[in-house]
Amino acid sequence: EPEVTQTPSHQVTQMGQEVILRCVPISNHLYFYWYRQILGQKVEFLVSFYNNEISEKSEIFDDQFSVERPDGSNFTLKIRSTKLEDSAMYFCASSGLGTGIGETQYFGPGTRLLVL
Amino acid sequence: QKEVEQNSGPLSVPEGAIASLNCTYSDRVSQSFFWYRQYSGKSPELIMSIYSNGDKEDGRFTAQLNKASQYVSLLIRDSQPSDSATYLCAVSSNTGNQFYFGTGTSLTVIP
């Protein structure tokens, strides 16, 4: 069964450093997302991406964040200058064989980011 | 701010019993509703989606949606210890481009 994959599974970085989280969405999906979950809290939407551009972004997704689809398979989230409060589990998701509106989103296993 | 509310639990049921999980949402225009299961330290795993008022059954799981009351529930029949997890209610935005998640209900099925 096709699945979303993410690398690395764990990332430890120093405050102020740049990190890139990588995702390979399900191959024929058209819509891609990033969510984060701070330990013990709810899953929060960061950004959605379709047709090589951002569709929507949340207040969390400020200028420190960026997304890119550098090739036909990868989808990346970059945090330019990490802060302590960026420590969280980051989930990539994909959906959309049709309109993508309200369709099921399938989640990857996540990258646990720890900022020291 | 779109809100999705769930009882955080913990909810404990004996093996073989019915577990009932509830969720309310604030955005009246929401059209798509989902239940995910999340084991500790793992990613959300889809249990069911529901789009229309009424019941939708899939094996031991039944989702119920009442848009007028802005309420969605999940029933788990014949609960098994392997069902012990946190259950997340998710509601799509009116554009469908983002999901709003509740904080989740922790379920423990006691053998």
The minimal CB distance from B96 to the residues A41, A44, A101 is found for A101
CA distance B3 to chain A (A): 11
Q: How many CB pairs under 8 A join A and B?
A: 60
- pLDDT, residue B29, reads 85
- pLDDT, residue B97, reads 82
pLDDT at A102 over 80: no
User: Cα A66 to chain center, whole Å?
Assistant: 10
Query: pLDDT in tens for each of the 111 residues of chain B?
Result: 678 999 878 999 999 999 999 999 998 888 899 999 999 999 999 999 999 999 999 999 999 999 999 999 999 999 999 999 999 999 998 877 889 999 999 999 999
Pairing of strands B11-14, B105-110: parallel
What's the rounded Cα separation, in Å, for the pair A7 and A108? Answer: 10
* DSSP secondary structure code for residue A60 in this structure: T
DSSP string, B34-55: EEEEE-TTS--EEEEEE-SSEE
- pLDDT, residue B8, reads 75
pLDDT tens digit sequence for A5-35: 999 999 999 999 999 999 999 988 989 999 9
pLDDT at A101 over 70: no
Do residues B77 and B15 lie in contact, with contact meaning Cβ atoms separated by under 8 Å?
no
Nearest-Cα residue of chain A relative to residue B99: A45
Tell me what the mean pLDDT of segment A83-106 comes to: 86
